[in-house]
Structures are given as structure tokens and as C-alpha cells.
Amino acid sequence: MENEKNEKKEFDLVKEIISFVKDMAVCMVIVLVIMHFIVRPIGVMGSSMYPTLEEGEVGLSDVIGYRLNGLERFDIAIVYIEQKDEHLVKRVVGLPGETVSYKDGKLYINGEYVEEDFLDTEYARTYDGVFMEDVEEITLGEDEYFCLGDNRPRSSDSRYYGPFKKDKIKCKGVFVLWPFNKIGFHTW
């Protein structure tokens, strides 16, 4: 009788362990599917997107919207940098096939001036020195994007890495979840 009770306890314990492992596996698969196909968690590191996004903000970025609709000029994009094995948050300025340049702090696409409404001009004026240096004309390939940080003097971006290939851009936009007083969606 005592032997049967011990066997039942051992059997129940084994069932519980198997059940727990199955539940964990299902949860991991669900999380991986969500992160790969729907949204991706993102943390803002550094000040390259200030004041749009600030260091320490945490949120979700849109994977499915990027895959279905692609990128438009001035979308926020999450770019994977292989050399550093990290993701950067940047702003799409130039689209595939376009010629991009900056002269006297102004953006030119295919030789035409394009206003950057998203830039905080008050913040740019407080910066001592040149906020955006000149960039010689660069013509993007059919799968390349020119991306910059909003805080131009403090950003390593396409000026440093060169144009980003489409397959290195993983998602777009950021829905800030933390801190709570900053909750909201940032596309631009």
C-alpha cells in the first residue's frame, strides 16, 4: 500500500514536470512567433534620437507593418548592425534609388529640398556648433536606405556605416511602454 502511494506521487511528479516543460515550450514558441512576425521589444540606448526618443525608453516596434507596408520617408526604423551585434533606432531619410545630400544643414533628395518637420528646431538651435554637417551626394541602391538619428551631432548612422540594406532593417516605429509618462506611438 505504502509502495503504491510512493509510486503514485512519483508518477504525479513526473506528470507535473512533463506538463510544465510542455507549457514552457508552447510559451517560448508563441513569444518567438510574436517577436519574429508581429512586434519586437526595443530599448533606446544613447541619445541619437533625442528628443523624439530618450535613452532608457522601452517599447515595441512593428514587424508586421514593416513587412506588409515597407518604409516611408521619415519613418523610425530599427536597424541591425552586424559589426556590433546590436540594433539601432534611426530615422529613414533616403529611400531606394534616390540621391541624398545635405548642404548647409538642409536635406536634398534628387536635388530637391525636402523639409524635415520632425526635427526639433528649438533643440537644434541650442546645440553649440553645426547640428548637421554637409553630406556629399550619395545614390542609394535598390535595396538601400539612408538613415540618421534625430540628434545629428550625437548619432552614428548612415554617415558612419553607409546606407543600410533592406534586410538589416527589422521593424519600424516605436510604441513606448516605459516610462509610463511617455507612453505613445512614435513613427515621426
pLDDT value at residue 185: 80
Give the amino acid at 69: N
pLDDT value at residue 4: 65
Residue 88 contacts residue 78 (beta carbons within 8 Å): yes
Per-residue pLDDT of the chain (188 residues; tens, 9 = 90+): 566 666 666 667 788 888 889 989 998 988 888 877 899 999 999 999 999 999 999 999 999 999 999 999 999 999 999 988 999 999 999 999 999 999 999 999 999 999 999 999 899 988 887 899 999 999 999 999 999 999 999 999 999 999 999 999 999 999 999 998 888 887 54
Taking the C-alpha atoms of residue 107 and residue 105, their distance in angstroms, rounded to an integer, is 7
pLDDT value at residue 47: 94
Q: Which fold has domain 38-186?
A: Umud Fragment, subunit A (2.10.109)
* DSSP E strands, the chain: 39-43, 58-62, 76-81, 86-94, 99-103, 106-109, 112-114, 135-139, 144-148, 164-165, 169-178, 184-186
Taking the C-alpha atoms of residue 112 and residue 83, their distance in angstroms, rounded to an integer, is 34
Q: Which three cell numbers stand for residue 3?
A: 509502495
**Overall pTM surpassing 0.75 (yes/no):** yes
DSSP string over 57-76: -EEEEEHHHHHHH---TT-E
pLDDT value at residue 175: 93
List active site positions: 48, 90
pLDDT value at residue 147: 98
